[in-house]
């Protein structure tokens, strides 16, 4: 079986650490499941574990993973197969297969100890170190997934020192194999280093205030850092009396009471407080402060009935906040241009972007059984969209609406198990673009959709499946229209719009803008 590099690590990479006792509380495996696995694989497992060679470990792991993919309605058996396959694949040096199995296990049994990326790092490091040059490049990407996944878990646990160590290891690997994630890893390392410095400063200031409760300057700086760096007004409120600042104490009190029931004056007061914080911060720290300010201003507008000078002032403040957020976003996008951006992790909010009842976000993967969802971004110029997904049944598949050029132009791709097409191109019959494919339900696939600005008003469109070109069109930009049957609702504006018929799991959705 061909394992798609970096498909598997979505849930491992972003899953939160297991809650104590959660693995024991939730157990999808029954005694019948164990008996079935014993009947089908018990003897093979015992034989493989007796041998000294590792190639048979890898072969059996792949056999078990493939078998698990054929029984989507037997979650307990699949869990047992993945649990056995993970160490076998790792022992056999097939880190991609091990990561894939751990990923699938994490979707069915969140929090199981076998899904912890740190457990696989030693085997991945050994396989990477012993591999020849060609094999090392292949092993590097899943090894990076494990390092970054473990770093993410360490960060969530506030173990920033461990997160930094793991990112430094990842940075060395990425530089060695010239991975396209080098810049992302370096940015992550810089962010973690800054977060570690901020945390150390918070600890020092906290100790200073505890040692001298009348240290007003330390208390005020501590509150600022807790709010702007940690987004933790509850912790900051503990030092409000030491700061001798009535306005800050009042704002923190309203923050901790919540925005939902806030009065108009309280909402206005907190909105202005967050705006003042944002005015004195660099963009990275100002961004969440501006977002909070907008939430509180929205509450003010919801409860303030009059159209007077105060209402106009708030409306202007909202415009100022949104304008700065737009500018920050433009700067971030310019800095990220040429890098792959994980849209699920950075932009997708289920309550706002899922259009249907049968859509869930599970371990940072979108699991859908018919319906539609959007990614709230409208790329400009040339770009690529990389989608890693698994279609779980023989269905009509996926339709993808991609904004290009002017406001109402969009490329429309259709991906199915057996064939693929493009539509809404003037003068081109959709059937004439049809290309057959030999994809299988239950098999992960990587799709790359490309839109390229070209000279003389031309546009290039293409779709690749697992690195192989399937669809391609080059022509006048003016011929690309918007497919009315799959376009997003008008009120959503310019967005990337996915329509899916049937069951599918979107492991990762990434965007790379070329300018």
Assigned token pair, 97: 């297969």
Rounded to whole angstroms, the Cα distance separating 7 from 507 reads 6
Q: Is the pLDDT of residue 288 over 90?
A: yes
Read off the pLDDT of residues 179-229 as tens digits, 9 standing for 90 and up: 878 888 888 899 899 999 999 999 999 999 999 999 999 999 999 999 999
According to the model, what pLDDT value does residue 515 have?
Answer: 65
pLDDT of residue 114: 86
Structural tokens at position 421: 């097409």
The pLDDT value recorded for residue 336 is 63
Distance CA 447, CA 465 (A): 5
Give the model confidence (pLDDT) of 447-504 as tens digits.
999 999 888 888 899 999 888 888 999 988 888 888 888 888 887 888 899 999 888 8
User: Which residues sit opposite 420 in a β-bridge?
Assistant: 415, 435
- Give the pLDDT mean for 126-154: 85
Three-state SS for 60?
Answer: helix
Mean pLDDT, range 20-38, rounded to an integer: 74
Burial class (CB in 10 A: 0-12, 13-18, 19+), 474: exposed
Q: Where are the alpha helices (DSSP H) in 92-159?
A: 95-108, 117-130, 133-156
Average pLDDT over residues 49-58: 85
Burial code (b: 16+ CB inside 10 Å, e: under 16) for 423-456 equals bbbeeeeeeebeeebebebebbbbbbbbbbbeee
Q: Of 82-86, 311-315, 451-455, which range is least confident?
A: 451-455
Coil, helix or strand at residue 49: helix
- What's residue 328's pLDDT? 86
Q: Which of 501, 188, 121 is nearest to 342 (CA)?
A: 188
What pLDDT, in 10s, does the model give residues 221-253? 999 999 999 999 999 999 999 999 999 999 999
Rounded CA gap, 104 and 72, in Å?
Answer: 11
Cβ-based burial of 125 (10 A; exposed 0-12, middle 13-18, buried ≥19): middle
What local confidence, expressed as pLDDT, does residue 396 receive?
A: 64
- Residue 368 CA to residue 348 CA, distance in Å, equals 14
Indicate the SS3 state at residue 65. Answer: helix
Instruction: Judge whether 292 and 325 are in contact, CB under 8 Å.
Output: no
Residue 388: pLDDT over 80: yes
Task: Output the pTM of the full model.
Answer: 0.58
């Amino acid at each position: 079986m061909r394992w798609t590099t970096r498909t598997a690590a979505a849930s491992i990479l972003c899953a939160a650490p297991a809650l104590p006792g959660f693995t024991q509380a939730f157990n999808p495996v029954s005694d019948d499941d164990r008996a079935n696995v014993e009947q089908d694989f018990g003897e093979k497992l015992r034989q493989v574990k007796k041998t000294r060679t590792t190639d048979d470990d890898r072969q059996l792991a792949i056999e078990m993973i493939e078998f698990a993919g054929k029984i989507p309605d037997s979650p307990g058996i699949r869990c047992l197969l993945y649990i056995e396959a993970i160490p076998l694949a790792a022992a056999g040096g097939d880190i991609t297969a091990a990561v894939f199995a751990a990923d699938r296990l994490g979707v069915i049994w969140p929090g199981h100890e076998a899904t912890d990326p740190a457990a696989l790092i030693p085997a991945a490091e050994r396989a990477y170190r012993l591999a020849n040059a060609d094999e090392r490049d292949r092993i590097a990407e899943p090894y990076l997934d494990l390092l970054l996944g473990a770093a993410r878990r360490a960060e969530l646990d506030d173990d920033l020192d461990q997160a930094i160590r793991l990112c430094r290891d990842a940075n060395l690997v990425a530089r060695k194999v010239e991975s396209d994630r080098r810049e992302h890893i370096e940015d992550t390392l810089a962010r973690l280093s800054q977060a570690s410095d901020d945390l150390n400063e918070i600890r020092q200031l906290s100790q200073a205030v505890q040692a001298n409760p009348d240290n007003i300057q330390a208390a005020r700086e501590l509150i600022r850092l807790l709010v702007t760096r940690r987004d933790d007004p509850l912790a900051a409120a503990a030092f409000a009396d030491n700061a001798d600042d009535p306005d800050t104490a009042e704002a923190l009190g309203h923050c901790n009471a919540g925005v939902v029931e806030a009065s108009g004056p309280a909402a206005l007061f907190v909105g202005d407080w967050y705006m003042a914080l944002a005015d004195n911060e660099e963009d990275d720290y100002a961004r969440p402060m501006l977002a909070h300010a907008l939430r509180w201003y929205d509450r003010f507008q919801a409860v303030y009935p009059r159209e007077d000078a105060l209402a106009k002032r708030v409306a202007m403040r909202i415009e100022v906040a949104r304008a700065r957020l737009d500018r920050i976003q433009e700067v971030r996008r310019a800095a990220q241009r040429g890098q792959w951006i994980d849209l699920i992790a950075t932009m997708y909010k289920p309550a706002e972007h899922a259009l249907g009842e049968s859509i869930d976000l599970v371990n940072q993967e979108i699991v859908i059984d018919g319906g539609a969802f959007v990614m709230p971004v409208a790329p400009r110029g040339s770009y690529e969209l990389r989608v890693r997904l698994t279609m779980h049944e023989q269905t009509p598949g996926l339709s993808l609406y991609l904004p290009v050029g002017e406001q109402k132009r969009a490329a429309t791709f259709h991906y199915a198990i057996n064939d693929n097409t493009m539509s809404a191109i003037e003068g081109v019959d959709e059937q004439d673009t049809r290309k057959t494919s030999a994809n299988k339900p239950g098999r992960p696939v990587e799709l790359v959709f490309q839109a390229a600005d070209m000279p003389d008003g031309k546009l290039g469109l293409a779709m690749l499946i697992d690195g192989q070109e399937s669809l391609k069109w080059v022509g006048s930009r003016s011929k690309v229209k918007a497919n009315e049957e799959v376009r997003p609702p008008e009120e959503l504006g310019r967005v990337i719009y996915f329509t899916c018929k049937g069951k599918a799991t979107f492991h990762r959705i990434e965007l790379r803008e070329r300018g």
